[in-house]
Every structure is written in structure tokens, then in C-alpha cells.
Amino acid sequence: MTADLEPKAKDASADLETRDMMLNIGPAHPAMHGIVRIVAKLDGEQIEEAEVEIGYLHRGFEKMAEIVDYNGVIPYADRLNYVSPLINNMGYCMTVEKLIGIEVPERCHYVRVILSEISRISDHLTCVGATAMELGAFTVFLYMIKAREYLWELVEQVTGARLTVTYCRVGGVKADLPEDFAPACRKAFEETRKVLVESDALLTRNRIFVDRMNGTGVISAEDAISYGITGPFLRSTGADYDVRKDCPYAVYDRLPFDVPVGSRGDNMDRYLVRMEEMEQSMRIVEAALRDIPPGSVLVNPETGRPIPAAEMVDLAKEGNIAAIAGGCAVVGPTLEGAGRAQHPSIAADEKRVSLPPKEDAYGNIEGLMQQFKLVMLGHGVRPPHGEVYFPVEGANGELGFYVVSDGAGNPYRVRVRPPCFAIMSALSKLITGDMMADIVPTFGSVNMIGGELDR
């Protein structure tokens, strides 16, 4: 009886039909952040093929840049990689400055570098924290967002905003660092380092996290270079390319820092590279605060006794000239602006480009005319005919701006080289052969920012 049944069982199994499954992942899937769609061909849980579709957050940055003046592009640049907007600001402004042929003051370079590195740490905290959360480590996410709050408070202290800061200007920055910035920065870094130690203890030797990250999303250095991948993603493969070291700009060649590299090119190495990069960014900021050249950020004591502006107006109306003689008005931040005293330290001495201090714009005809010529429609910054490309090291890799001028007051063409676009072009290769669950850590390590990707 058993012998008769055995061949029938074999025949039945041979007749079973197997099919591959086509599965849509996103754009509404939580791990896809609402802006990416992956069509995966599955054999069970294994991905045989994958097609990645982008464009769900297209903002038209490059076309918008053609219809506003050169400084008007800066608020749009904030919204490229909106997790580290100060790096976008710096990259765009340095591109236009290269086109015009001007050099900003040394102190301005230091201020830009300090805030760019604080932005880089914030970006890495967000990336690592979100990836950990999507793998179930919600505590790490809360810790890292707590650290990011400390850094965003620093950014707010300098720029007046936390996310879309619009801080840089063509030819300088909006305002100098406040006088108490250095001690506040040291305190924020002390708290951030504590968070990194706690997060390292929770993740780096956690069996679940390590098993999910090790050996997934693997790419070789040769393949990464062929795709044009840069940043932590490339450095995880062992290639040590970093724009700050290989094409130094601002004052990065004067500041000590190391470039962390991995060896396997997998998700675990990308996590480790980002964790070490945060420490290196703090090193850069600490060295920059130590070496930054002086520049007054206080009222010049020689100008006399400070008097609140409203009080000075009332005394003048009363005719009490003796009470205000030798005094100087203390105005609010709207009128004070960058401040005449610190303006030479943070803005290029170039009337064709740099806005005057607010005191001059409101106080004398030369300043008023300069302000008028730079902000009124049909005037503004007018670089000579030409085209330039300038790269900076963004949080995700090489962020490049290509600007073409036809001599008008607005750019003829602005092209962005977003670092995560190259990584996304390789995403299909990264996830093919892995399991369905491996898409989550791999996509998290891409650190895709929609505003930059779909620009």
C-alpha cells in the first residue's frame, strides 16, 4: 500500500505551480517616507528584481532659481536637504562668489564651517535615529532626537530659525555668532557625546541590530564609484573620498579631522562611519571656535552710553539734548541687522554683492542706495557672463551647484548635484538578492531626502 502511494505523491508535487510575486512597497509605506515607490519581484521573501520610482516630492527648485535674484535662491536652497540646510546655503553662496570672483572675510568662513558641521551632526543623528527606530530601537531614536534638539537650539541662537534658516548671503552671512555661543556649544556637545555613548551601547553590540545590518545592502567600492556615489555611503566601502579633504574649501585645510572609512560596504559599516563622523564634526567645530579670528559682536564702547531707541526718541522730542548727548541707540534685531561693528568680519567688502548694515540702510543715503540697488526688482547681484561648478561635502556626500550667468540679475541656469540621487540610482542593485525585511535598513542608510532628490 505504501509503495503504491509514494510515486503518486511525487507526481503531485511535480505538478504544483510556482509563481513570482510583484509587490508594491510605497509610496505610502512608512519606511518609504511617502515619496518613493519600489516595485519588487519576490521569490518567497527574496528580492529577485526591483524597480525604484522617484519624483513624488518634485519641487522644481532648479526652475524656481531662474526666476528670482541670486540671494532669492537661498530660501529654496534651505529646502533641498532640509535636515542640514546650512550646508546647502554655504554651497550655493560659495558657487555664486566663485562666479563673481570675490572672497569673504576669514571670520565668515569659520562661522560657515561651524554651522555646517553642526548641521552635519544633526543630519547624521536624524538618519541613524530613524533607521534604528524602523528596526525597532525606538529608545535610540528618542535619545538622538534629544541630542538634535541641543544642536537646533544652537542654530536658532545664531540664525533665529531651527530648520529653514536662510542664514548665508552671497558675500557673507546674515549675522555674527552671539557672544555666548562658544560655552553654549561646548555644553551641547557634551550632552551630544553622552547620547552617542548611550546609543553605541544600545546598538553596536545589539544582536538584533547587528544581524539586521551586517551583510545587507552590500556594494563594492568599484560599483559605488561607477554610480557616482559619495559621502558616508562611499566611505563605507573603503574609499576615503571627502570633498573637505580632497578639494578643500573655506578653512577646512586648517582644521584637524579624520575621514572614517569602512571595509565591507554594508549597512553596518555605514552606521559606524556616520557615528564616527559625528565625533569628527565636533572636533572641527571645537578647533574652529578656538582658532576663529576676532571680530566685535558688541556695541563699541567708544560710541558712548547705550540708550534704548524708544527712550532716545522721547528725550529728543522733549528737547532734552543733554540726556542723549554722547549716547548711542540700542535698537532691536530688526533694525540692528548684522551690525556695523561686525559687518567687516562677516561680509565681503563688495558693494555690488553685500547688503549694507541696517544702520547704514536706515541712517545714510549711501547705505540706502546700496540696499535699494541690491533688493529692488531689476537690480540686485549681477555676476559677469560665465559658468561655474562648486562642490561641498554635504551630509550625504558631494553636494554640487552649477550656476550659469548671462549677466542678468537672476541666474540663467542653476543645476544641483544632489548626493542621494546617485545612491538612489543604485538602490535596485543594493536590495536585489536580499530579503524583503532588508529593504528597511538599506533604505534607511541611503538617508534619502526628498527635497534634494526630486529638486
Q: Is residue 118 exposed (0-12), middle (13-18) or buried (19+ Cβ within 10 Å)?
A: buried
- For residue 381, pLDDT over 90 is answered with no
Which set of grid coordinates corresponds to residue 293? 579670528
On average, the pLDDT of the chain sits at: 88
Q: How far is CA 374 from CA 107, 199, 212, 277, in A?
A: 23, 48, 54, 39
pLDDT digits (tens, 9 = 90+) for 6-62: 555 555 555 667 778 899 987 888 888 878 999 999 988 999 999 999 988 888 899
What's the burial of 63, exposed, middle or buried (CB within 10 Å: 0-12/13-18/19+)?
exposed
* Half-sphere exposure at residue 349, Cβ-oriented, CA atoms within 13 angstroms: 5
Specify the pLDDT at position 32.
84
Q: What is the pLDDT of residues 33-47, one digit of tens each?
A: 878 999 999 988 999
Angle, alpha carbons 79-85-89 (nearest 5°): 95
pLDDT band at 308 (very low <50, low <70, confident <90, very high): confident
> How many whole angstroms separate alpha carbon 127 and alpha carbon 144?
10
CA distance 269 to 138: 21
- Cell for 422? 546617485
Stretch 293-318: mean pLDDT:
65
Q: Has residue 76 got a pLDDT over 90? A: yes
191 Rama class: left (phi>0) / alpha (psi -120 to 50) / beta:
alpha
For residues 315 and 435, the model is more confident at 435
Q: Residue 121's pLDDT is what?
A: 97
Give the end-to-end CA distance of the chain in Å, rounded to a whole number. 71
Strands 306-308 and 328-330: parallel
**Percentage of residues of the chain with pLDDT beyond 90:** 62
Check whether 247 has a pLDDT greater than 90: yes
What pLDDT, in 10s, does the model give residues 173-226? Answer: 988 898 889 999 999 999 999 999 999 999 999 999 999 999 999 999 999 999
For the cut 70, the answer to whether the pLDDT of residue 306 exceeds it is: yes
Beta bridge mates, 40: 23, 50
> Where is pLDDT greater, at 435 or 9?
435
Query: Looking at the predicted structure, is the pLDDT value of residue 293 above 80?
Result: yes
CB 133 within 8 A of CB 141: yes
Q: What region does 26 belong to: left with phi over 0, alpha with psi -120 to 50, or beta?
A: left
Q: Can you list the domains of the chain with their CATH numbers?
A: 61-295+381-453 (1.10.645.10), 301-375 (no CATH)
State pTM to two decimals: 0.86
